[in-house]
Amino acid sequence: MQGRPDSSVSSLAARPAPVPPLRRLRAAWRLARTVLHGLRGLATVLLLFPRMNPAQRQARIGAWSRRLLQVLGLELRTHGSFRPGAKLIVANHVSWLDIAAIHALCPQARFVSKAEVRQWPLVGRLVDGADTLYLQRERARDAMRVLHAITQALQQGDTVAVFPEGTTGEGHEPLPFHANLLQAVIVSGAPVQPVALRYSDPGHAVSPAARFVGDTTLAQSLWALACAQGLTVELRVLPPQAVAHADRRALAAQLRETIAQALQPSERR
């Protein structure tokens, strides 16, 4: 699920260094192009999606997501591939941009997101267009509704993607995984496919530019991303796993460890 940790985490983040004038100018240009790209996406969702079949919509989602990364100056590096058919994608969560990174390679994925995202300017309508499943976290019983929806989607052959941390982390290693929504893959019989997401730049194995923690706003995150130099998002798609009859808590711990290992620099794996 998309989200952010408590505001106390933000106090741990270092104050960003001043941005040189030329980089500020480039960042402003990137942001202008990003807004324009978002408006084009909104027009596509509102005007074209109603007349498109699922395959056509997915092709547009994939192309739009890849272009978003390019406009913001990110390079996408991928390892591995997604299996065809029904699956539950389980990934670590660093940024709101994680969704675009996964959609760039797997545009058919239906994400589970916190309901507040629907209220974000522009972004909310775009997320709606990707057939997102929303969870109202303040309502305890809503998890059961979403669990049923995920199970049904998997049984119908859909791909669903979840962030079991329930919030965004710093990117060095995953936070503890919540097990509740993993019950859907156990019940449905669909496989689970782990994904490790890592943002890096020439000076950092884990780039601070991608962090979306604490009180960071979407606007602040966009500015940090636009100001970054040589930012790369690495999408490591790990082999799918059959999880029939698994214990959900044990599965959550095992998936977290698998993703944590994949996040380590190659020389340490």
Q: Do 206 and 132 meet the contact criterion of CB atoms below 8 Å apart?
A: no
Q: Do 12 and 170 meet the contact criterion of CB atoms below 8 Å apart?
A: no
Is residue 89 one of the residues assigned to a domain? yes
Instruction: Report the Cα–Cα distance between both ends of the chain, in Å, rounded.
Output: 27
The whole-angstrom separation of Cα 254 and Cα 160 is: 19
CA-based nearest residue to 155, from 185, 131, 183: 185
Task: Find the range with the poorest average confidence among 22-26, 34-38, 60-64, 122-126.
Answer: 122-126
pTM of the full structure: 0.88
75 - beta bridge partners? 232
Is residue 184 one of the residues assigned to a domain? yes
What CATH number has the domain bearing residue 120?
Answer: 3.40.1130
CA-based nearest residue to 92, from 224, 211, 250, 242: 211
The whole-angstrom separation of Cα 53 and Cα 134 is: 22
Residue-level pLDDT at 246: 87
Task: Find the range with the poorest average confidence among 68-72, 122-126, 151-155.
Answer: 122-126
- Quick one: how far is CA 161 from the chain centroid? 8
**Is the pLDDT reported for residue 221 higher than 90?**
yes
29-49: average pLDDT = 95
197 - beta bridge partners? 235
Q: How many domains does the chain have?
A: 1
Asked whether the CA dihedral 112, 113, 114, 120 is positive or negative, the reply is: negative
- Neighbour order of strands in the sheet with 232-237: 75-79, 232-237, 192-200, 87-91, 159-162, 109-114, 133-135
Is residue 120 one of the residues assigned to a domain? yes
Cα angle 212-217-219, degrees, rounded to a multiple of 5: 105
Q: pLDDT grade, residue 12 (50/70/90)?
A: very low
Range of the domain at 246: 20-268
The whole-angstrom separation of Cα 138 and Cα 116 is: 11
Residue-level pLDDT at 37: 96
Is residue 14 one of the residues assigned to a domain? no
Is residue 4 one of the residues assigned to a domain? no
Around Cβ 267, how many Cβ atoms within 10 Å? 5
Burial 76-89 (b: 16+ CB within 10 A, else e): beeebebeeebbbb
Is residue 2 one of the residues assigned to a domain? no
Q: pLDDT grade, residue 114 (50/70/90)?
A: confident
CA-based nearest residue to 174, from 58, 257, 117, 50: 257
CA-based nearest residue to 75, from 211, 231, 266: 231
Mean pLDDT of the chain: 88
Q: pLDDT grade, residue 244 (50/70/90)?
A: confident
Is residue 135 one of the residues assigned to a domain? yes
Residue-level pLDDT at 14: 46
CA-based nearest residue to 76, from 96, 94, 57, 103: 103
Asked whether the CA dihedral 72, 73, 74, 76 is positive or negative, the reply is: positive
Residue-level pLDDT at 125: 77
**Ramachandran bin of 213, using left for φ above 0, alpha for ψ from -120 to 50, beta for the remaining angles:** beta
Is residue 87 one of the residues assigned to a domain? yes
- Quick one: how far is CA 140 from the chain centroid? 23
